[in-house]
Amino acid sequence: MPRATDRTGVELRMTEEKPTSIATRMRAAVARWGDACAVIALMALAAVLGATYLFSHVGILATVELNNAPSLFEPSAMLAAGYGFTVPVNAEDFPALRDFLEHRTGRITRDQIPEKLDTRPPDDFTSSRLYLLHAVGFIWRLTGISWEALKILPVLIFAALAGLVYGVFRLAMNRRLSLAGTLLYLLSPGVYAVITNLRDFSKGPFVLAVLLIVGHLVKRLTGRRAYLGWAALLGVVAGVGVGFRHDVLICLPPAVCVVLAAQGVERLSVWRRGAAAALLLVCFALAAVPVFASYPILPSTEAMHSESHVNVNMGFATVHDDEMGMARASYERVPLLSDAYEAAISRSYDAGYDAYVAGAPGGPRDETAPRASSLMVAMLKTFPADMLLRGYAATFQIARGPEPESRLAHIPENAFTNRLISLNAPVQRHFRRFGLWYAGAALVVTGCLSLRLGFAALVLVLYFGAYPSLQYQFRHVYHLGFVPFWFAGLTLAGAFHVLGALRRAEVRRSVLTKSWWIPRAVRSAAFVAGVLVLVLLPLHGLRIYQRHILNDVLAATASAGVRPIETTRAVDGKRVYFKLCDPLFPLADPLTAQEQVKPHVGWRPAYLVAAFSKDMAGHFIELHYDAAHTDPDFSQVLMIGPERFGAHGNARSTAYFFPVFEYLYYGPGSWWSRFTGISLSKDDAEHFEGLLRIQDPARFPLLIHLTVPGAPEVFRSCQQLRPAHRPLPELPVRAKADSSFSYYCALAAEAAGDPARAAEVYREALAEDPSSIEFSMGLGRALAAQGDRESALAAFCDAIDLAPEFYVPYAKLAGVLAGSDSDARIGVWRALAERHARRPCPLLYLGRALAEAEHDDEAIEAYERALGVSGHDWLIRGELAGLLVEQGRLEEAAGAYRAALAVESRAAMLHDGLGRVLVELGEPEEAIAACGRAVELDPKRAHPLATALATAAPRYMKEGNWEAGAALYRAALDIRPDMSWAKSGLGICVGKMGDFGAALKLHREALADYLDDRGTYGALDETLRDRNDPEARVAEWERIAREHPDIPFPSLYLGMAREQEGDIPGALEAFERADALGLDGPDARDGIERLSQHPAAQ
């Protein structure tokens, strides 16, 4: 018998199979299913930890403090209630939802959901969080609408995060190290500081999923089909992630690059690589199109028209540089982290500073001229080296472990987090000290094994580590908190691998040979050299360019025209205040063309210089604004010059350039923010030489905070990394004058319900500072709360006398006068109008008072006088137009509306009013355009404007102008497609115009919407009669009567149609059926009586 051999002819020996032990079987199972079991266990642990923290230690998630505004979840609740991704047109129609969003109740029960509700799409900002809000809605659909159920979503996200972090670890190390690293991440207290912030927390799984797939493509060879599958999956993950948080968009460039550069098991052709990249982009677009269609996410030329643009501009704030460990240079780009400050600098920059030159009488900016580049682009062009260094700094911070405790983030204190903090403290200290060493060692080990993998890992680390520098806060980097553990694990994995190999004698012998260590040493040296070139060469090149740019700025400061600003000196404790004697901008109507480029933008910048006779580097200056009662209060403490460490010169003088932004906008909801001066320590005040104002700020590319020393060699033109042993610069606490302290004390008394105490504090403060507008207004509020109306009126009048151009005191005074008789109101406003004859506000309120008293002619005269003072005020023109409409002077009203829109084209109320007037004037095309624009600007106007357009159509129909009637009905239906009676009216018009097929379709749609409206049936019958086809008329009504046998109207009109055709018995039968169904009115009975006498019925 021949013996068995293998394919090479070697004899195969038969051995007796021994039974395997249970331990061996378990090891085999672990080898096969170990990763799956580990992922499941880690996800379960993360879910338990997240649920324990959220349900036991956290209250309601939907709060503004946690960055989860309750209103954001309104469409989610509507989705769970069965109304789709919408919001109610009128909140009063869904009181349970209103109470839920206002936290009056914690849940909405099914019996509280209305059966019928008028809805509209949510606003663009809310719609841009499409998938996040759909996820919340799906959970509420399953569990019921409640704030407690909202916590399920972050628990699920945390579980997914755990599995993905483990996957990223497994790309580079064994299962045990991966488990240990993932556990360290799950027990990091910083994660629980972000888990309550749904928008930021939800992006983590998507970023890590992209990183995991990209890492897989870099490390492993893929087959052709798998290659295309991974590309498609990358696109879907990134596209869906954008619907949770727009930051995920940053993952798209590396995903495309890795797909193009991936290596396959077989050679990948250029065509296949291009097809894979295209597939990735198509899948991304399909997933992200609903999000992009809702909101402008990508940067645009309009600074305030792009969310990413705003976020990047705010990312330039100094506090972010401090968090990344960057030392301050001789300038600050954005010293204050504030939405209002970002609006000020970006809007002012985009409008063009040349329009704001002090004392220049020039007119408004020429909108046809080339638009200035955006602030974001200008920052990148001026500080390219700093931008690159920011990326390096963020990467270094992430490699050391991002710190959750900072000026911008704090870990909530409770038993859960306190325990984690105490456990994590030694781990955090260790990685803050050695994290960069682990990162360097891990990258060198990877480069030693493979230059391709080493440089790929370097690029991915730099990219994903650098992009958070766009706005460096812990909530934007929490998902990368595992990175220090990953680098340490990779280093340990390499060390264990080497030690394990050295246990074998043949390996120990080969290590001593040149053929083993020389190639590895060469690869390591090449990798380190390549890293140094890639990292340092661009930085040094950009620094040379940046120094050149800033040298031009310094030259501009040396030759800039300046004029002194007169100030008064006051000492308060350890501070010396230098207060402006005169305001920077004239207290005139801020809507004049000379002082405002765009009526809807109220920021007015100036560039000032504080001159000192000594080196002020490292000293502090405080800017003061008169804005204690408004949001844009830019009062702040600033550090002059660079931080004092390393070599520096000894300047004999210092000029500190800084911009100020005032907000003096007259209109509804006006704000007031005016620069009043600076304060210094007593020692620094001795060297203060005065404030100066730059007369030609257009010479400066950016109005940045700039320290110009007397010795040029001291000027630090580039930022550098702060030495690790040096802490952040500690800014002194903002010094507040006694008057400001009094203001806050009075506010506290008002909040505590003690207006008498508040009035007393305000009076004392006014005795010291009688020129304070806010104290006069506060006194008026406190007196009004006490019921002392006359004294409150006097206080508000005093505030008006102090700043007659400021809108707010007029509004407060109007509130106090609301309970007075019309003659008293008119008397007060008339007196103020005479006292401030060159101000529009008193005349505006006088016009309102006269209109309320029905003195229309006098009211119109007051409005016209106000326009004579402020010809650019759209609000006055709008109110004048409304009054002219009441008097029937429609042509004049239309002119007033058009003039107002020429000033403010984005006021929905003006387009609304103009559209209604034009309808009455017989100009339907312009009316339709105006109403459409009004709805576009304010969707809440959709219902009344659609009704107004549709109601106006019959007037044109009576005149036989069917085209105009049809246009009005179509416009109404474009705004509100659910108006069945408008469809009926449009059907009549279309039928009159001869298109009976389209007319019948419209009538049928109207009937499908509303079966119980007789007018809808009557409109259909009118079109059928116009068609002049009795048989078709009868057939149509027979069909409808069969489909709706319980409704009397089809039988009624069927009877009429048969009577016209001559079918008297059939008509009589139809009339009798309509009467039997309970038709209201005499129509059916009259038909029965009339036809009963007909011979054909006998």
**CA distances from residue 503 to 99, 173, 178, 519 in whole angstroms, order as listed:** 71, 20, 24, 22
pLDDT category at 375 given cuts 50, 70, 90 is: confident
pLDDT of residue 730: 61
3-class state of residue 605 by DSSP:
strand
Each residue's pLDDT tens digit, 339-350: 888 878 887 776
- pTM, full prediction: 0.69
Bridge partners of 694?
562
The whole-angstrom separation of Cα 27 and Cα 988 is 81
Q: What string of H, E and C letters represents the secondary structure of 165-210?
A: HHHHHHCCCCHHHHHHHHHHHHCCHHHHHHCCCHHHHCCHHHHHHH
The whole-angstrom separation of Cα 659 and Cα 114 is 54
* Region 858-863 average pLDDT: 83
The whole-angstrom separation of Cα 407 and Cα 410 is 8
pLDDT category at 786 given cuts 50, 70, 90 is: confident
**CA distances from residue 219 to 172, 258, 275 in whole angstroms, order as listed:** 9, 11, 21
Each residue's pLDDT tens digit, 945-1000: 888 888 888 888 888 888 888 888 888 888 888 787 788 888 888 888 888 888 88
User: Nearest to residue 650, comparing CAs of 676, 625, 615?
Assistant: 615
In eight-state DSSP terms, residue 402 is -
Each residue's pLDDT tens digit, 463-488: 999 999 998 988 999 999 999 999 99
User: Nearest to residue 276, comparing CAs of 300, 264, 260?
Assistant: 260
The whole-angstrom separation of Cα 338 and Cα 321 is 15
User: Nearest to residue 463, comparing CAs of 253, 770, 294, 612?
Assistant: 253
In eight-state DSSP terms, residue 513 is S
Element (H, E) at 919: helix 908-920
Highest mean pLDDT among 198-202, 764-768, 825-829 belongs to 198-202
Q: Going by DSSP bridges, is the β-strand pair 567-572/326-327 parallel, antiparallel, or unpaired?
A: unpaired
pLDDT of residue 352: 52
Q: Evaluate whether 583 touches 594 at the Cβ level (below 8 Å).
A: no
The whole-angstrom separation of Cα 244 and Cα 135 is 9
Give the residue with greater pLDDT, 1064 vs 3.
Answer: 1064
**CA distances from residue 43 to 158, 344, 682, 897 in whole angstroms, order as listed:** 8, 45, 60, 62
Share of the chain above pLDDT 70, in %: 85
pLDDT of residue 186: 95
The type of residue at 859 is: A
pLDDT of residue 670: 42
Q: Going by DSSP bridges, is the β-strand pair 688-694/562-565 parallel, antiparallel, or unpaired?
A: antiparallel
**For 538-541, which contacts have Cβ atoms below 8 Å and span 24 or more sequence positions?**
538/388, 539/385, 539/388, 539/389, 539/392
The whole-angstrom separation of Cα 194 and Cα 200 is 7
Each residue's pLDDT tens digit, 626-652: 764 455 678 888 988 886 644 445 667
Each residue's pLDDT tens digit, 229-281: 999 999 999 999 999 998 899 999 999 999 999 887 778 888 999 999 999 99
In eight-state DSSP terms, residue 92 is G
User: Nearest to residue 1049, comparing CAs of 1011, 1092, 1006?
Assistant: 1011
User: Nearest to residue 246, comparing CAs of 350, 127, 418?
Assistant: 127
pLDDT category at 294 given cuts 50, 70, 90 is: low
Choose the weakest-confidence range: 187-196, 783-792, 861-870.
861-870
Mean pLDDT of the chain: 82
pLDDT at 12 over 50: no
Each residue's pLDDT tens digit, 679-694: 999 999 999 999 999 9
The whole-angstrom separation of Cα 523 and Cα 533 is 15
pLDDT of residue 595: 31
Element (H, E) at 1040: helix 1030-1043
pLDDT of residue 772: 73
The distance from CA 496 to its chain's CA centroid, rounded to whole angstroms, is 48
The whole-angstrom separation of Cα 232 and Cα 966 is 48
pLDDT at 321 over 80: yes
Q: Evaluate whether 836 touches 800 at the Cβ level (below 8 Å).
A: yes
Choose the weakest-confidence range: 93-97, 827-831, 1078-1082.
1078-1082
The whole-angstrom separation of Cα 1001 and Cα 1023 is 11
The whole-angstrom separation of Cα 1046 and Cα 1038 is 13
pLDDT of residue 666: 42
pLDDT of residue 714: 83
Element (H, E) at 681: strand 672-681
Each residue's pLDDT tens digit, 647-677: 445 667 899 999 998 876 543 334 567 788 9
* Region 188-201 average pLDDT: 92
Bridge partners of 639?
620
* Region 70-77 average pLDDT: 92
The distance from CA 351 to its chain's CA centroid, rounded to whole angstroms, is 22
Dihedral (CA of 954, 960, 961, 965) sign: positive
3-class state of residue 635 by DSSP:
coil
